[in-house]
Amino acid sequence: MNVSHFHLRRWAKALAAVSLAILGALILSAQTDLTGYWAFRVKDGGVNFFQLQQTGDAVASVAPAGRGGSLAGTLKDGKLHLVSTFNMPAGAGRGAAPGAAPAAGAGRGAAPGQARETVYDGVVENANRIAVTMTTTGRDPLKGTFERVTREEAYPTRIPPPDLRDVPDNGLARTPPMGWNSWNKFQDVFDDATVRGVADAMVSSGMAKAGYTYIVVDEGWTSGRDANGKIVGNGKFPNMKALADYVHSKGLKIGTYSSPGPQSCSGKMGGGYQGSFGHELDDALTFAEWGYDYLKYDWCSAGGVYSNTKEDNQGAYQKMGEALLKTGRPIVYSLCQYGSHDVWKWGAKTGGNLWRTTGDIADRWDSMERIGFAQIDIAKYNQVGHWNDPDMLEVGNGGMTADEYRTHMSLWCLLAAPLMAGNDLRTMTEETKSILMNTDVIAIDQDREFKPVYRLSQEGKSEVLVRPVTGDAYAVGLFNRGDAPAEIGFRWDALKFDTGLYGFRRLQAQDLWKHEAVATTGDEFKATVPRHGVVMLKVSVGGGRGF
Ligand code: GLA
């Protein structure tokens, strides 16, 4: 073989290889028209569905608005690049005003007014599967897959909710529920060991003794359904029954979380988790079989399968309320649809023991203040067993001062709000413990003869709130919402004691944060209240004659 012949053969081989590669690429790109429905999944994380449309190299989502965000990008040489930009509308999402729903999909967690960008970079493995890395501003990249799914899997059709009727009272939550919930601190980045550790700390810290009972596992525990349609935990929560047994062994109760929609909202890990849509009774029975005592039921993707009418909201919640009753197990039912359609007027009819009245709280003064003080006018809708829920506590999460957290706790207790701690109970400072475990303030929240709070006075940023409590007494909160210390007061005779003997009997007053008696002489009480702070009193009629 001479040299030129050798070269020729090498050239021919190279040519053949290149042609094959071009042909392969052509075949691949001819095969991979991404038009259709796709699920983006992350291991032990959530799922996000997209309807994609490909035109040449261009790929864009045509998903119904609000479902999975909107994507646009390219498919070139088997490489997918999609970008989703989501502008958080001012006032939406975490820390939203009463009634505002959190945004679904890619925008969750962005601060109002901020753009959060999510980029999906993928390598096409075959026509039905793409290996993808998802990168979201401010978060660690996540590896997952795009898998082709049917339209019905991606966007199930509405199942008409039941005709409306009143679900009988389950007899639970005679006082506002107390406990702990994973979301505020951990979002969906936590596991079975975290929850067990928190349950241990609930007992060892004294929280259980102070009344905190329910350990609620919020979004992040499901992976999907088994072949029989039974809901199953993911790698972070491999055995939900064993977890319930453990929590019960500590003398506590346990709660879980689902959605009337096909998926939950979407935490930090890829997308939403399995919801109960179309499996309401199956799931209620499973939760009962595992020994769960509490269900938080979060609207999330239900907006994609129901219409956003009051009837569909009430019907969807009633469906689960009835399912929970059918299990025969006492399960506290916590509605979470952010207060839409004045849920306080009909939540009890669905069997609800508590219902969120607002969008999500954030660990910031402006969020807590806006939510908390907007609750007073609807406090009259509370009834024994059926409570307004202005969202979980942020005490101990680090975003507010001790004065602000004392305001948070005092306000929630005056409102008779559920007290669900949202911090890491395993690592509480003494200050956090003194706030969460102020049993004098908790006693106001838990007062058995419930009477609603009312506003006694408001002057600029100073407010005095009053709640009648058992034993011919009043709880009084003097709140300074302003940015500088303020003197706030009230006249003792503004508290209308039932005895009719007022003026002849001595009043007693206790400062519930200083834990000391307060003089009741003179016509009025006055105190200098720090910025964003509170002075909280319990005033009652003493035995002796005074004045
Ligand atoms: C909603 C709820 C939150 C939490 C998250 C989980 O935003 O309001 O309390 O459950 O969903 O994604």
Ligand 1: residue whose CA is nearest its atom 6? 219
- CB-CB neighbours of 145 under 10 Å: 16
Ligand 1: residue of 216, 218, 355, 397 to mutate (most ligand atoms within 8 A of CB) is 218
Ligand 1 centroid from CA 257, angstroms: 10
> How many angstroms separate the alpha carbon of residue 390 from the centre of ligand 1?
13
Q: Which residues line ligand 1 (CB under 6 A)?
A: 102, 183, 218-219, 264-265, 267, 298, 336, 360
| pLDDT tens-digit profile, the chain (547 residues) | 444 555 656 766 766 666 655 555 555 555 589 999 999 999 999 999 999 999 999 999 986 655 556 899 999 999 999 998 765 544 333 333 343 344 343 345 555 556 678 999 999 999 999 999 999 988 899 999 999 999 999 999 999 999 999 999 999 999 999 999 999 999 999 999 999 999 999 999 999 999 999 999 999 999 999 999 999 999 999 999 999 999 999 999 999 999 999 999 988 999 999 999 999 999 999 999 999 999 999 999 999 999 999 999 999 999 999 999 999 999 999 999 999 999 999 999 999 999 999 999 999 999 999 999 999 999 999 999 999 999 999 999 999 999 999 999 999 999 999 999 999 999 999 999 999 999 999 999 999 999 999 999 999 999 999 999 999 999 999 999 999 999 999 999 999 886 555 556 689 999 999 999 999 999 999 999 999 999 999 999 875 544 4
Q: Whose CA is nearest to atom 8 of ligand 1?
A: 360
298 catalytic, yes or no?
Answer: yes
Burial 349-364 (b: 16+ CB within 10 A, else e): bbbbbbbbbbbbbbbb
Q: Which ranges of 49-191 does DSSP label H, i.e. alpha helix?
A: 151-154, 183-186
Q: Which atom of ligand 1 is nearest to the CA of 257?
A: 10
Residue nearest to atom 9 of ligand 1 (CA): 360
Nearest atom, ligand 1, residue 391 CA = 9
Closest ligand 1 atom, residue 336 Cα: 8
For 59, the token pair is 């790929």
In the reported structure, the alpha carbon of residue 335 is separated from the centroid of ligand 1 by a whole-number distance in angstroms of 11
Give burial (CB, 10 Å; 0-12/13-18/19+) of 427: exposed
Distance 330 CA to ligand 1 centre (A): 23
Q: Is 256 helix (H, G, I), strand (E, B) or coil?
A: strand
CA 336–ligand 1 middle distance (angstroms):
8
Place of tokens 């908390």: 372
Distance (Å, whole) CA 387 – CA 332: 11
Which of 336, 356, 361 to mutate for ligand 1's pocket (most ligand atoms within 8 Å of CB)? 336
- Residue 487 exposed, middle or buried by CB count within 10 Å (0-12, 13-18, 19+): exposed
* Alpha-carbon span 136 to 121, nearest angstrom: 11
Return the residue whose CA atom lies nearest to atom 11 of ligand 1: 265
Residue (of 188, 314, 195, 208) closest to 255 by Cα position:
195
State the closest ligand 1 atom to the C-alpha of 356, by its place in the atom list counted from 1.
8
Task: Look up 312 and say whether it is catalytic.
Answer: no
Structure tokens at 100: 């505002």
Who contacts 225 (Cβ-Cβ below 8 Å, separation ≥6)? Answer: 231, 232, 274, 279
Q: What is the pTM of this model?
A: 0.90
How far away, in angstroms, is 91 Cα from ligand 1 center? Answer: 16
Q: Are 338 and 302 in contact (CB under 8 A)?
A: no
Residue of 283, 141, 272 lying closest to 219 (CA atoms) = 272
Which one is catalytic: 298, 312, 389, 447?
298
Distance in Å, CA 338 to ligand 1 centroid: 9
Catalytic residue chosen out of the listed positions 360, 389, 424, 445? 360
Residue nearest to atom 12 of ligand 1 (CA): 265
Q: How far apart are CA 387 and CA 370, in angstroms?
A: 19
In ligand 1, which atom is closest to the CA atom of 265? 12
